[in-house]
Every structure is written in structure tokens, then in C-alpha cells.
Amino acid sequence: GQQVMQIPQYQHVQEGEDFTTYCNSSTTLSNIQWYKQRPGGHPVFLIQLVKSGEVKKQKRLTFQFGEAKKNSSLHITATQTTDVGTYFCAGPNAGGTSYGKLTFGQGTILTVHP
């Protein structure tokens, strides 16, 4: 079945350092979504990428969708303690349907040391 792999599983950074998490799918994706889950909280939608090679920015966060639409990345510039949490990527299940069944990556747990 479809797999969505995310690396690294854990990332510890000093405040002010940059952070990147990578997402790779075993199948071509029609779109990819990114979510953030704060410690003790629930996932919150960040962004969706649809086009091949698409790049979107949200303040210090930069999201990229690969040319082949099988990989994606999230880059945070100059991390802050408010960036702490788990970042998930998610893509629609393969199968040719338009149902909103998403396959989630394992997530990258980001810790920021002040």
C-alpha cells in the first residue's frame, strides 16, 4: 500500500537555528498537506501544496513540493520556542478516488532549546 515516510523522526535545535523535515511518498500525490501538533494538542492544518515544484511561504516557514510530486519539505528559518511540536505531512490515499483519506507520515518531533 501507499507509504509516506518522514525524516528525521526527531530534531533538536538551538533557538535561532534552521530546521528542515522531509517527506517522501511511494506514489505520486495529487496534493500534499502539512500539519503541526503542539505537545499535548491536536494536529492543526498549516498548508496544502498542489502544483509540481510549488513553493509557498508562511513567515519563517517555507514549504516545497517536488517536481515529481512524490516528495515535499518544510523548512523553518531561525527557529523559535513557539515552533516546538510535531510536524506531519499527509497525502491522499492512492486508488484513484477523490475520497479525503489521507496517509500521514510518522511526523518529525522538533525540540527548540532556548
**Spatial contact of 105 and 87, defined as CB atoms under 8 Å apart:** no
Residue partners of 105: CB distance under 8 A and separation at least 6: 4, 5, 6, 23, 88, 89, 90
Cβ closest to other proteins, residue 14 vs residue 98: 98
Angstrom distances, CA of residue 62 to CA of 29, 66, 98, 114: 19, 13, 27, 22
Q: How far is the CB of 46 from other proteins (least distance, A)?
A: 9
Q: Which residues bind other proteins (CB under 8 A)?
A: 1, 4, 6, 9, 30-31, 33, 35, 41-45, 48, 50, 88, 90, 92-93, 97-107
Distance of closest approach, residue 51 Cβ to other proteins, in angstroms: 12
Give me the least distance between CB of 66 and other proteins, in Å please. Answer: 18
Q: Give the residue with the Cβ less far from other proteins, 31 or 77.
A: 31
Closer residue to other proteins (CB): 75 or 104 = 104
Decide: 40 and 17 in contact? Cβ < 8 Å: no
